[in-house]
Structure 1
Amino acid sequence: MPTLATALLQGLKDHGARELFGIPGDFVLPFFKIIEESGILPVFTLSHEPAVGFAADAAVRYRSGLGVAVVTYGAGAFNVVNAVAGAYAERSPVVVVAGAPGARERASGLLLHHQARSVDTQFAVFREITCDQAVLDDPATAPQEIARVLRSARERSLPVYIELPRDMVDAEVAPVPVLPPRNAEADALAECAEEIVAMLGRAASPVVVVDVEVRRYGTEPAVATLARRLGIPVVTTFMGRGLLQQAPDVLRGTYLGSAGDPAVTRLVEDADALLLLGVILCDTNFALSEKRFDWRHTVLAIDRSVRVGHHVYPDLPIEELIAALLARTEGDAAPKPRALPPFEAYPRGLAAEDRALTPTDIATALNDLFDRHGAMPMASDIGDCLFTAMEIDNTALAAPGYYAGMGFGVPAGIGVAAATGQRPLILVGDGAFQMTGWELGNCRRYGLDPIVVVFNNASWEMLRVFQPESKFNDLSDWNFAGAAPALGGHGERVTTPKELVAALEAAVARRGVFSLVEVMLPRGVTSRTLGRFVSGLKSARDRQ
């Protein structure tokens, strides 16, 4: 019989985990020993637990499956709470495996190191930011508990929590089964699909809007096929940026309301039927909408529930819904002819000039770079770096666009590289880099060589645009490029478009170490997209 540790690792692998991210500590040391010796899943250790959570989150955003963060009890687990909260908000199935005291330690009558209010406070905290939890304190029930929790993570695309007492690691257990999926009720699925097809058939100008769950459940190709079959254009939300990268024939751009391309905004807001697939109804997606949804002509599919007009169909997985829609539209007549706006035009052709740089110059330079060398998978932090990403060609992207937690970008890029084997492009501001940028020091151990573009305006510029009078937005110049060699990479500071173009070209050619391009930006200068977003948000608040 396998031990609980090996059964858990094999169960994670069987449910779609491909790597682990973690930091060892005394309560999880026995489990880390098995991780290392068994070789069931590779492990990437980082320097601080928030980065572990961000890396696991980003890794699973690039493929359907599970991200896994392994941390110790108390001091380690509480450090990863913010990253897991972000994963919950943005519907990313991260499995937190946390070490814990054994039964004898719990019964000692002593307060235990790393303990907060009580021994079980950690479990109580994670219950608030995960969709399912298990404490593996009984060898007889542990395999079924693991299977239940992992199925919940896969089915709901949300984080889960598994607590592993350190005295249970070597307990003999049965293998972890893969439980059958909980499918939709056939009649409800049929009725729902037929109602949607009828709504779309009556519409003269329907639009499909896609967001994060479309990738979480691996349905991008099916959505593209459905859109082609029905002749319906597709747009992404702000959160869904990077989806349908391989389907430019149906994708028209990203909906940002009054901050985005006016043609895309009109396409969505003038639609007489909206099919919202996996869409999070959050302020960063829809705060700048100039019109409210007419729910009589809107479909929303998210979290195993589908709303069609004012009808709600519970327990209906999005992947089954899309398959049912395809089945009901196969062999349809040619789609209705329709004049559509061209795909968003992104800036290109940066002149190699000697002048101050702007964030939009960075987008232009990266579009030119992609034209020469091909697109790269991207990870972005929150801030103007993310709004600048909206001006770059629609490329696979992991970013905290809704939860908006700083520090995501660099560890997310490490997670993307580990999960995909590809070289990522990381966009990060100087404020966020101060938090987690030092994780780049781990790249050398794992042979990772991301290209990192740091937006350095010595400022929390995203906060300054809302409150420009406050001096606390000013930051010091930390000279990140100068620190790069000590971390095992190469750094270069640029101040003009000419220098930026040359530095990016050199970074592409340089392999084997990370390349950090520190772009010096004047305070108060933002991307065009952030400028429109702030203007629109202020106008919306004034109207309230």
Structure 2
Amino acid sequence: MDEKLLNIGEYLIQKIYESGARHVFGVPGDYILNFYAKLNNSPLELINTSDEEGAAFAADAYARVSGFGVVCVTYTVGGLKVLNATACAFAEKSPLLVIAGAPGYKEREKYPLLHHKPNEYDDSLRMFERITVASTGLENPAEACKEIDRVIQTVLTLKRPGFIELPRDVVDMVVTTASRHKEHVKNPDLSLQTEAGDALVHAINSAKQPVIMAGIGILRHNLVSALESFSEKTNIPIVTTILGKSVLDERNPHFLGVYAGIIGDDAVRAYVESSDCVILLGMLLTDVDMGANTAVISPDVMITLSDEECSIGNHKFSLPGLMLLPDLLEKELCYHTISGVPAPVRERLPTFTPSDTKITTKSLVPAINSLIDDKTVLITEVGDAVMMSLDITIQRSGGFLCPVYYSTLGYSVPASIGVQAACPDLRPLVLSGDGAFQMTGMEVSTACRYHMNPIVIVLNNSGFGTERPMIDGSFNDVAGWKYHKIPEITGCGKGYLIRTEQEFVDALKEAYASKELAILDVILDPDDISPHLRRLCQKFSQGVKQ
């Protein structure tokens, strides 16, 4: 291929490949078929899911573990089905690119009412503009390459989704690619960086009981090693938020546990809230991460370093603070000798010996902890699946995924496909409620099709366990499925019906030892929820009942 004489479809594929993606997820449709044909003959591997939202969740998970993910669907009926997943990626800073086909511009002039058109032809583009950091309709072929470059570069830089609408009559248009968009990089203000760095060192060295609170930005910006070195150099303990869980290997000697206000561990909460210096690294200050807004941390003791902010207490510096973390390692930082640091949560968990007693949410956590390893990526739904996971020790950086802030359901099973496509040497362990599974669980057939083998644990409590403690009613019930029978339908994998602790441990051991997909149908009482979730529901119910 002559780089200077590519068509727009080929150029887009080349740019996706250059940006690090090796897979594209989606569902085909007539307005995107000509681009799909090019994808099919490209170095990129197509993964067709059962539904467009499943494709977008898979691409989002792929982006979270690899740095860039792509979903490709048809016009509106496909594109609008991925709006929810795109909003999730925007809210939680995931670098997802959405490509949607569209009617050609000549068609639009000739036929005012082509199929899939909701109102105006640009409706889809306008909707995506609200939940992406860059979007384009490629209406000008002469500018197409620059626009593609602009959107993808912005996605990679800001770690948030972008949108490209690809009219089918521009896919084969030949363009010259000599003139490409170059992102303007603003030179840093070195004097301001020095001023901020010196102020940070003074604040950190002066603290008597500092603590690091690490958020998801550490992972998004590849600062895990810097975080670990910073903690080791200063001897400052680390907690993470729920969204930031697993930003580092949780066996790290400086890691105490997850801070989540009243939701999380009491000893961790007490230590953080009595700190005179809380160093927020790459955090999103969301209501869930702040324990349903029950966090008690004075802004006066906060040092905030994010990709958008740098502040010490109420004093703000006009530069992104998170990128100063590597520079701090070169400065004269004190080694803190701190008293009263609680033992890490992982060291205070009870030992687990399975028995033939009924399985409960309480026994699930130590059972999983006893078997999880450093090749596992735990992917959970929101609700009790994530709440009970707060005390599961994740043994690899980035080994936990959950859209806990945006709190969309149906994420986990499709996400396991994205994780395994990006990292085939890792094993996804999915923890899903039965309600969430019924939304997107059919994507296990996609896993079978592409020879993937996630282990899926379905928490079968006959409904939406998060809503029941807030306001209950028959609307919280779901249809009773025999989840362990699903492998018989897909013709792939093995199912397990589980009622006791021993059955769960035996099934999970067998699933880990096997190379095939597994579905563990775990029967729980409808009112059996974890203490973490109960506290969250009590707080959230106050707003529901107002």
TM-score range normalised by the length of the shorter chain: over 0.9
**What's 1:425 paired with?**
429
Does residue 413 of the first structure (1) align with residue 416 of the second (2)? Answer: yes
Matched, 1:359 2:355: no
The residue aligned with 2:93 is 91
Rate the CA distance shift 1:310–1:383 in 2: closer, same or farther, 3 A: same
Kindly, what percent of the aligned residue pairs are identical? Answer: 32
Q: 1:230 aligns with which of 218, 231, 234?
A: 234
Query: Which amino acid counterpart does residue 391 of structure 1 have in structure 2?
Result: D
* Aligned partner of residue 330 in structure 2, secondary structure: helix
Cα–Cα, structure 1 residues 297 and 91, in superposed 2: closer, same or farther, change >3 Å? same
Q: Give ranges in structure 2 of 5+ residues lacking alignment.
A: none
Is 1:211 paired with 2:215? yes
Distance 1:183 1:454, change over 3 A: farther
* TM-score, normalisation: structure 2: 0.93
SS at 1:505 equivalent: helix
**Displacement of 1:314 after TM fit?**
4.0
Q: Secondary structure at the match of 1:124?
A: helix
Residues 251-302 of structure 1: CA deviation (Å, up to 9, x unaligned): 1110021221112102211111111111111110114565543223312233
Trace 1:42-57 onto structure 2 (pairs within 5 A).
Answer: 42-57=45-60
2:512 counterpart of 1:508:
yes
DSSP-derived class of the 1:111 partner: coil
Alpha-carbon contact 2:470-2:540 (below 8 Å) kept: no
Give the drift of 1:356: 2.0
> 1:112-160: per-residue Cα shift (whole Å, max 9, x none)?
2111110000011001111111122323211221121112112211111
Q: What's the offset of the Cα at 1:483?
A: 1.9
Question: 472, 475, 479: which one pairs with 1:472?
Answer: 475
CA contact (8 A) 2:256 2:343 kept: yes
Equivalent residues in 2 for 1:432-471 (5 A)?
A: 432-468=436-472, 470-471=473-474
Q: In the alignment, which residue of structure 2 is the partner of 1:529?
A: 532
Gap regions ≥5 residues in structure 1: none
1:116 match = 118
**What pairs up with 1:251-266 in 2 under 5 angstroms?**
251-266=255-270
SS in structure 2 of the partner of residue 443 of structure 1: helix
Q: Classify 1:201/1:381 alpha carbon distance in 2 versus 1 (closer, same or farther; 3 Å).
A: same
What does residue 342 of structure 2 align with?
A: 341
Aligned with 1:145 (options 115, 132, 147): 147
Distance 2:339 2:63 in 1: 37
Aligned residues: 534
C-alpha separation in 1, matches of 2:187 and 2:32: 36
Distance 1:18 1:312, change over 3 A: farther
- 5 Å-filtered alignment, 1:174-189, equals 174-175=176-177, 179=183, 181-182=185-186, 184-189=188-193
Q: For 2:36, what is the secondary structure of its paired residue?
A: helix
Q: Secondary structure at the match of 1:257?
A: coil
Write the letter of the residue equivalent to 2:160. Answer: L
SS in structure 2 of the partner of residue 107 of structure 1: helix
Asked if 2 retains the 8 angstrom alpha-carbon contact of 1:258 and 1:289, the reply is no
Aligned residue type for 2:420:
A
Equivalent residue in structure 1 for 2:298, among 286, 294, 299: 294
CA drift at 1:178: 6.2
After TM superposition, give the deviation of residue 204 of structure 1 in Å. Answer: 0.8
Between stretches 349-358 and 106-115, larger displacement belongs to: 349-358
What SS class does the counterpart of residue 244 from structure 1 fall into?
Answer: coil
Q: Quote how far apart the aligned CAs of 1:358 are.
A: 0.9
2-side partners of 1:50 and 1:158: how far apart?
18
Moved more, 274-283 or 288-297: 288-297
How far off is 1:173 after superposition?
2.5
What secondary structure, in the 3-state scheme, does the structure 2 residue paired with 1:113 have? coil
Contact 1:2–1:174 (8 Å) recurs in 2? yes
| Distance in 2 of aligned mates of 1:298 and 1:53 | 36
- How far apart are residue 233 of structure 1 and its match? 1.1
Contact 2:205 2:334 in 1 (8 A): no
Letter of the 2:519 counterpart: L
TM-score normalised to structure 1 length: 0.93
CA RMSD of aligned residues (A): 2.1
